[in-house]
């Protein structure tokens, strides 16, 4: 099917093609017949059984519009976002680029989304029927990034199966400073304190850069193992 549609899809810019895919899912232009579940794919994530270890990462359904249709395609989990406290346009266009020979994309969107208030209302109106993750981050022009994470955490902690703290985006200036030991420790400590205040045990994931050196990964692992996320 994709091979037949590929020439048509590639006539559009990658960002327009993505918008069309969202609309197709939103209005059921794509089959909603669920694939048969397989015992070979059943797995457990954060103590809950899911139908497959293959899911949709944040970045596709940024505004939490099509998480249930995506689950109906057979994905084991869907993670929406990245969501920021206030709506923002993201980086100037063009900001998504095809690498056709590598069958890949370069994504420089920059946390474009409609904001925490709008998205939380949408999720409340349409309960997820899948294992559901919510990815949160700070606004580009914020004066207090930790506070932005906390604002989003308080907005979404009771709407998902887990929350992802996104510190990996290279498109938000200095966001990756949270990979440093002191900054990351402060952020996670604040999240943990907020969990205690809200009396929630929702699991926390941390999205880190894919190109970190092993020494950096070890530091991040030590902070988590120290008990900040228990």
Q: Render pLDDT for 46-72 as a digit per residue (tens, 0 to 9).
A: 989 998 899 999 988 999 999 998 888
Neighbours of 79 (CB within 10 A): 26
Alpha-carbon span 147 to 45, nearest angstrom: 28
Over residues 124-135, the pLDDT tens digits come to 999 998 999 999
The 3-state DSSP class for residue 63 equals: coil
Q: Whose CA is closest to 69, among 30, 108, 113, 43?
A: 30
**What percent of the chain shows pLDDT beyond 90?**
40
pLDDT band at 148 (very low <50, low <70, confident <90, very high): very high
Higher pLDDT, 109 or 25: 25
Residues near 147 by beta carbon (within 8 Å), at least 6 away in sequence: none
Q: How far apart are CA 166 and CA 205, in angstroms?
A: 9
Higher pLDDT among residues 111 and 108, named by residue: 111
Mean pLDDT for the chain overall? 82
Domain 2-228 fold: TIM Barrel (3.20.20)
Instruction: Evaluate the CA torsion angle 57, 134, 228, 110 in order and state its sign.
Output: positive
Residue 6: predicted pLDDT: 57
Q: Indicate the Cα dihedral angle 26, 125, 120, 165, nearest 10°.
A: -70
DSSP code at position 66: S
pLDDT (average), residues 19-23: 73
Picking from 203, 88, 90, 187, the residue whose alpha carbon sits closest to that of residue 147 is 187
Mean pLDDT of 150-166: 95
Catalytic residues: 169
| 191/163 Cα distance (integer angstroms) | 11
What DSSP character marks residue 102?
Answer: G
Contact 87, 116 (CB under 8 A): no
pTM, full prediction: 0.84
81 pLDDT above the threshold of 50: yes
Residue 37: predicted pLDDT: 77
């Amino acid at each position: 099917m994709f091979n037949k549609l590929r020439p048509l899809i590639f006539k559009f810019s990658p960002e327009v093609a993505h918008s069309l895919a969202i609309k197709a899912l939103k209005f059921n232009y794509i089959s909603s017949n669920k694939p048969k579940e397989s015992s070979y794919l059943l797995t457990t994530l954060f103590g809950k059984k899911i139908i497959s270890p293959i899911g949709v990462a944040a970045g596709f359904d940024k505004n939490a519009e099509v998480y249930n249709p995506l689950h109906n395609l057979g994905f084991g989990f869907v993670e929406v976002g990245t969501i920021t406290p206030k709506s923002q346009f993201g980086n100037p266009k063009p900001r998504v680029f095809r690498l056709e020979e590598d069958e890949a994309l370069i994504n420089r969107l920059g946390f474009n989304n409609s904001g925490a208030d709008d998205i939380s209302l949408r999720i409340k109106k349409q309960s997820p029927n899948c294992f559901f993750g919510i990815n949160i981050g700070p606004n580009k022009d914020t004066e207090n990034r930790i506070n932005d994470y906390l604002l989003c955490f308080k907005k979404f902690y009771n709407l998902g199966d887990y929350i992802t703290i996104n510190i990996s985006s290279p498109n938000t200036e200095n966001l990756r400073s949270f990979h440093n030991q002191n900054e990351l420790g402060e952020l996670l400590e604040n999240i943990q304190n907020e969990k205690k205040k809200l009396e929630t045990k929702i699991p926390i994931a941390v999205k880190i850069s894919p190109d970190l050196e092993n020494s950096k990964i070890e530091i991040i692992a030590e902070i988590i193992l120290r008990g900040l996320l228990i």
